[in-house]
Amino acid sequence: MQYRQVGVIGGKGAGPGQFGASLRGIAVDAAGNIYAANDSQITVFDATGRLRRRWSTSQPVHSVAVTGDGAVYTGQIRQIEIFDSAGKLVHTWRDETLLWRVTAIGFVDGDVLAGEATGRAIRRFDSGGKFRNNIGTDNPLNGLLIPNGVVDFGVDAHGIIHAANPGKHRVERYTPAGELLGHIGHFHGTDPAGFGGCCNPTNVAVRDRIYVTEKAGPRAKVYNFSGDLEAVIAADVFDANCKNMSIAVDRRGRVYVADTVKLAIFIFEPEAV
Amino acid sequence: MSEPFTRRDLLHKAARGTVLATLGGGAAFLVQKAHGQVVWQVDAARCLNSRLGVVGVEACRLCTTECVVALSAVRAVNEYSRCGRCNICPAYFNITSAVDERGLPSEKLCPRDAITRKPIGKADPEDPANNFYEYLIDEEKCDGCGKCVMQCKEPLGLGSIVLRIRYDRCVDCNRCAISRACPKDALIQVPVEQALRNDGVH
């Protein structure tokens, strides 16, 4: 399998559709709209990359996720702000401990999952914001090892949570209740099938496969659920100083990667065999 | 059997390690210097080995080759409060060397074997990767070559290892030989009080 770059969105700047100082999270909804968590705002592009709308969050935003009905969840420091599809603030969940720094958001069985980097855990809440349980804190000893400062995960069609554990060079599988089911991945400094450096992969997205990004050197890769590398999606296009590159996949198999230095979203799609 | 490892343990160790590392390496000597005196210091923001944004180049060895002191008055120091305590530390291992049967790189990075490590807290024998490590730099062996500093730098590492002038070794040349050679002007003279602040001794 090979991928080719088919577009770039954003870039550093003050213009419409550009990002000022940070690009920490991206998400794609069912219609293919692309959501960027940049600076202290959410910026929405349509599937062609045209700017549709943007709105401010109350704090710098670290992550974004979109539900099937278009609600937009934004992870911040000590809170999650929930907006409707037009960008109107609907709810704010605040918690001084459980939501210290929310670097990823996902959904499973009607519940909301928040990747919380300070506590190195995925927090599971019900739809009303009531805490249910932690995921990844007991695997079996030290939990998620994340020297990179980001907890990231994806949820597959069966409700299994695939969490990056970069300090262990793995993507681990958990049930929503927090039971560790297994993992893929291993360290290797030169073989692209392995995860290199001190701590990779940093970010993960899941759909029909497991998609990851790594830092130093930055690259995006795709694995099957057995852990076999299927493709290096891209490497050279990213700034060498990138880290914690958010990744998303739409239902057509297009892959979106946030370059955190160039402040651009690179779009790739699989080449027809 | 060792006690379970907690974040409190980690923070305590970090604070203790930072103070010991700075004091042990000459800051205690520095405090005896006269008020108003100036000393040489490595500016980490200028040093090629620690400056952010410089990746994919060989480490600069001028602190080793130019200093008039045997082995150099410059040594690598691990600021424990910033260290990620990674299982596979790019400053400890040569991370591009062959992987051994334990799944670890088979070679160390430091040519003088000046870095050692020990696990923190309880290790899981079924899952040895599931652990934190404390990395210790033996300053008697270190010659300030900067290889570990370059590998520890962001984005590969967390930038916890930096080069520091050890004032109990430095002979205070009027015109530091390293400063004359450094292409980045990273050797600077600062008042003693500022040097103490920069080294984390307040």
Contact check, Cβ <8 Å, A189/B85: no
Contact check, Cβ <8 Å, B86/A147: yes
Q: How far apart are CA A164 and CA A253, in angstroms?
A: 20
Vertex A59, ends A53 and A61: CA angle to 5°?
Answer: 60
- The answer to whether the beta carbons of residues B150 and B49 sit under 8 Å apart is yes
Whether residue A210 is predicted with pLDDT greater than 90 in this model: the reply is yes
Contact check, Cβ <8 Å, B157/A242: no
Q: What is the ipTM of this complex?
A: 0.91
* Residue linked to tokens 């059997």: B1
Banded pLDDT at B122 (limits 50, 70, 90):
confident
Residue B200: both structure tokens together: 């984390």
Closest CA to A148 of A246, A70, A236, A55: A246
Is B101 an interface residue toward A (CB < 8 Å)? no
List pLDDT tens digits, range A156-177. Answer: 999 999 999 999 999 999 999 9
Q: How far apart are CA A255 and CA A209, in angstroms?
A: 11
Whether residue B53 is predicted with pLDDT greater than 80 in this model: the reply is yes
User: What's the DSSP call for residue B65?
Assistant: H
For residue A141, give its domain range. 3-270
Mean pLDDT of B146-164: 96
B44 domain residue, yes or no: yes
Q: How far apart are CA A53 and CA A163, in angstroms?
A: 30
Smallest CA–CA separation between B122 and chain A, in Å? 8
For residue A162, the model assigns a pLDDT of 98
Helices (H), chain B: 7-22, 28-30, 62-66, 147-152, 177-181, 192-198
Q: How far apart are CA B57 and CA B47, in angstroms?
A: 13
List pLDDT tens digits, range A131-154. Answer: 999 999 987 788 999 999 999 999
Mean pLDDT of A195-216: 97
List pLDDT tens digits, range A44-103. Answer: 999 999 999 999 999 999 999 999 999 999 999 999 999 999 999 999 999 999 999 999
List pLDDT tens digits, range A25-52. Answer: 999 999 999 999 999 999 999 999 999 9
Mean pLDDT of B169-185: 94
B1 domain residue, yes or no: no
DSSP string for B69-119: STT-SEEEEE-GGG----SS-TTTB-TTSPB-TTSSBSSBS-TT--EEEEE
For residue B200, the model assigns a pLDDT of 65
Q: Is the peptide bond before B105 cis (omega within 30 degrees of 0)?
A: no
Whether residue B177 is predicted with pLDDT greater than 70 in this model: the reply is yes
Contact check, Cβ <8 Å, B132/A243: no
Q: How far apart are CA A150 and CA A171, in angstroms?
A: 14
Share above pLDDT 90 across residues of chain B, in percent, rounded to a whole number: 65
Contact check, Cβ <8 Å, B84/A215: no
DSSP 3-state of B16? helix
Which residues fall within 8 angstroms of residue B89, CB to CB, at 6 or more apart?
A198, B117, B133, B135, B152, B157
Smallest CA–CA separation between A215 and chain B, in Å? 7
Whether residue A238 is predicted with pLDDT greater than 80 in this model: the reply is yes
Which residues fall within 8 angstroms of residue B16, CB to CB, at 6 or more apart?
none
Contacts of A189 in chain B (CB under 8 A): 94-97, 99, 105
Is B2 an interface residue toward A (CB < 8 Å)? no
For residue B95, give its domain range. 7-198
The amino acid sitting at B168 is D
Share above pLDDT 70 across residues of chain A, in percent, rounded to a whole number: 100
Number of domains in chain A: 1
Q: Is the peptide bond before B183 cis (omega within 30 degrees of 0)?
A: no
Mean pLDDT of B5-23: 51
Mean pLDDT (chain A) is 96
Number of domains in chain B: 1
Q: How far apart are CA A141 and CA A214, in angstroms?
A: 24
CATH of the domain at A225: 2.120.10.30
Residue B69 φ/ψ, nearest 5 degrees: -85, 145
List pLDDT tens digits, range B178-197. Answer: 999 999 999 999 998 888 88
The gap between the terminal CA atoms of chain B, to the nearest Å, is 37
Banded pLDDT at B3 (limits 50, 70, 90):
very low
B2 domain residue, yes or no: no
- The answer to whether the beta carbons of residues A64 and A26 sit under 8 Å apart is yes
- The answer to whether the beta carbons of residues A200 and A214 sit under 8 Å apart is yes
The amino acid sitting at B10 is L
Given phi > 0 = left and psi -120 to 50 = alpha, else beta, which region is B123? Answer: beta
Closest CA to B2 of B123, B85, B135: B123
Least confident residue range of A6-10, B14-18, B176-180: B14-18
Residue B178 burial (CB count, 10 A): 25
The amino acid sitting at B127 is D
Banded pLDDT at B129 (limits 50, 70, 90):
confident
The amino acid sitting at A180 is L
H-run or E-run covering B40: strand B38-42
Closest CA to B91 of B81, B78, B101: B78
Q: pTM for this structure?
A: 0.91
Q: How far apart are CA A21 and CA A229, in angstroms?
A: 33
